[in-house]
């Protein structure tokens, strides 16, 4: 099989020629530090992995008073081109004298501005001041925020370039500057996870209002996906894992919103992979009930998750494709190639039966030993049906 056909077979719950083997986002830090700045394509070729190409081109609405943000600069991780109007635009300034690079972003509207502060290092970025400080700040977002549309022509141009050589993957749009694909997860990026959890008890009406505003923006984007040659798009994020929230919060505040996004994506002809990096076992069936095409990351206990791959396969493996399950913290560093191979074989034996499984590192990695990645890819290619 070609790489794409191998991936699609797994995503559709069929049996491919061999175990598909890949990774999630390949972090620029890893490529610069360990691979002399090689590209994502070169990474996959070097280690014999099945290639994934991420592309998330946005465009403004054709009939609205919208335009691409002329001041965005470089497009950052998990972000595409922002969409501005005369009523919603982002400005920013770097704050000097900080331990880490620190940037204040202002979201400007005719009725006032909101601001958030991001900090970053070579590996990642994080929020040090949240955008929504008082509940009425949501009113500005509800009235003025723009909703990007998918640039279908650009997605299809990328898909045509790669043909059957790679899986074309994207994600549901995140909030401007910093966010996550899922509705709940996006909200956590804007107010903070702890506050979101507390508000589900203190003011659930406001939480539902907040999630509805974010969901509307995502649905506008999802409806524009019709005709885009994506193979799968990511929804979700770690803030909905059961190492963060309870199953009750998931079912009351996550599933009702993201399930609609999934249904709408299917109506647009797209597949969805639901991403939950962290605990999953108490909500396996709840995630599957939202009817995504795939679930990830199946993080093992040794990495802070809770997943028993064999049990997960028994419980939901006939309903969705499973992606992930590999412990990159312990088997991409500090072990022998034989131990890495054994970890690969264990994943295949637990989750590979009857297909519907893609071996992948459980989310990102920043540091790794190259001979162990080679062992990972080589052993996976030996896992045949």
Position 71 confidence tier, pLDDT thresholds 50, 70, 90? confident
Mean pLDDT calculated for residue range 258-272: 98
- pLDDT in the model for residue 22: 97
Confidence of residue 155 (pLDDT cuts 50, 70, 90): very high
Interval 255-275 mean pLDDT: 98
Q: What is the predicted pLDDT for the residue at 171? A: 97
Which pLDDT value is given to residue 76?
A: 62
Residue 355: what pLDDT? 96
79 — pLDDT class (breaks 50, 70, 90): low
Tell me whether residue 304 is exposed, middle or buried, using C-beta atoms within 10 angstroms of its C-beta: 0 to 12, 13 to 18, 19 or more: middle
**pLDDT one-digit tens code per residue, 17-36:** 999 999 998 999 999 999 99
Q: What is the pLDDT of residues 295-337, one digit of tens each?
A: 999 999 999 999 999 999 999 999 999 999 999 999 999 999 9
Work out the percent of the chain whose per-residue pLDDT is above 70. 99
Q: What value does the mean pLDDT take over residues 260-275?
A: 98
- Mean pLDDT in residue range 191-198: 98
pLDDT tens-place string over residues 215-248? 999 999 999 999 999 999 999 999 999 999 999 9
Three-state DSSP string of the chain: CCHHHHHHHHHCCCCCCECCEECCCCCHHHHHHHCCCCCHHHHHHHHCCCCEEECCCEECCCCCCCEECCCCCCCCCCCCCCEEECCEEEEEEECCCCCCEEEEEEEEECCEEEEEEEEECCCCEEEEECCCCCCCHHHHHHHHCCCCEECHHHHHHHHHHHHHHCEEEEECCCCCCCCCCCHHHHHHHHHCHHHHHHHHHHCHHHHHHHHHHHHHHHHHHHHCCCCCCCCEEEEECHHHCCCCCCHHHHHHHHHHHHHHHHHHHHHCCCCEEEECCCCCHHHHHHHHHCCCCEEECCCCHHHCCCCCHHHHHHHHCCCCEEEEEECHHHHCCCCCHHHHHHHHHHHHHHHCCCCCEEEEECCCCCCCCHHHHHHHHHHHHCCEC
pLDDT tens, position by position, 111-140: 999 999 999 999 999 999 999 999 999 999
> What is the number of other CB atoms lying within 10 angstroms of the CB of residue 39?
11
For the chain, which domains are there? 3-59+144-381 (3.20.20.210), 67-133 (no CATH)
More confident residue, 263 or 72: 263
At residue 77, the pLDDT reads 58
| Averaged pLDDT of the chain | 96
């Amino acid at each position: 099989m070609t790489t794409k056909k191998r991936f699609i077979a797994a995503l559709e719950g069929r049996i491919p020629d061999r175990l598909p083997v890949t990774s999630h986002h390949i972090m620029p830090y890893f490529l610069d530090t360990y691979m002399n700045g090689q590209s994502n394509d070169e990474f996959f070729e070097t280690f014999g992995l099945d290639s994934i190409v991420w592309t998330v081109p946005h465009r403004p609405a054709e009939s609205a008073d919208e335009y691409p943000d002329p001041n965005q600069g470089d497009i950052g991780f998990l972000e595409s081109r922002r969409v501005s109007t005369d009523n919603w635009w982002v400005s920013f300034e770097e704050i000097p004298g900080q331990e880490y690079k620190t940037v204040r972003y202002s979201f400007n509207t005719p009725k006032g501005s909101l601001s958030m502060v991001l900090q970053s290092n070579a590996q990642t970025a994080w929020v040090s001041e949240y955008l929504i400080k008082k509940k009425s700040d949501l009113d500005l977002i509800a009235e003025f925020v723009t909703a990007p549309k998918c640039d279908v022509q650009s997605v299809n141009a990328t898909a045509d370039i790669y043909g059957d050589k790679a899986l074309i993957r994207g994600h549901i749009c995140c909030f401007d500057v910093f966010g996550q694909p899922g509705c709940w997860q996006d909200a956590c990026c804007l107010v903070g996870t702890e506050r979101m959890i507390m508000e589900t008890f203190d003011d659930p009406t406001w939480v539902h209002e907040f999630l509805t505003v974010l969901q509307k923006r995502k649905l506008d984007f999802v409806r524009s996906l019709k005709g885009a040659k994506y193979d799968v798009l990511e929804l979700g994020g770690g803030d909905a894992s059961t190492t963060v929230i309870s199953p009750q919060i998931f079912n009351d505040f996550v599933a009702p919103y993201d399930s609609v996004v999934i249904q709408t994506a299917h109506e647009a002809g797209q597949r969805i992979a639901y991403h939950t990096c962290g605990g999953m076992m108490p909500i396996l069936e709840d995630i599957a009930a939202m009817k995504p095409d795939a679930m990830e990351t199946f993080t093992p206990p040794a990495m802070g998750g809770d997943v028993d791959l064999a049990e997960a396969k028994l419980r939901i493996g006939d309903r969705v494709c499973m992606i992930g399950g590999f412990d990159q913290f312990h088997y991409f560093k500090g072990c022998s190639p034989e131990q890495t191979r054994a970890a690969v074989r264990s994943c295949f034996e637990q989750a590979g039966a009857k297909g519907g499984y893609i071996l992948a590192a459980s989310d990102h990695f920043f540091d790794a030993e190259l001979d162990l990645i080679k062992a990972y890819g080589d052993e996976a290619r030996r896992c045949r049906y």
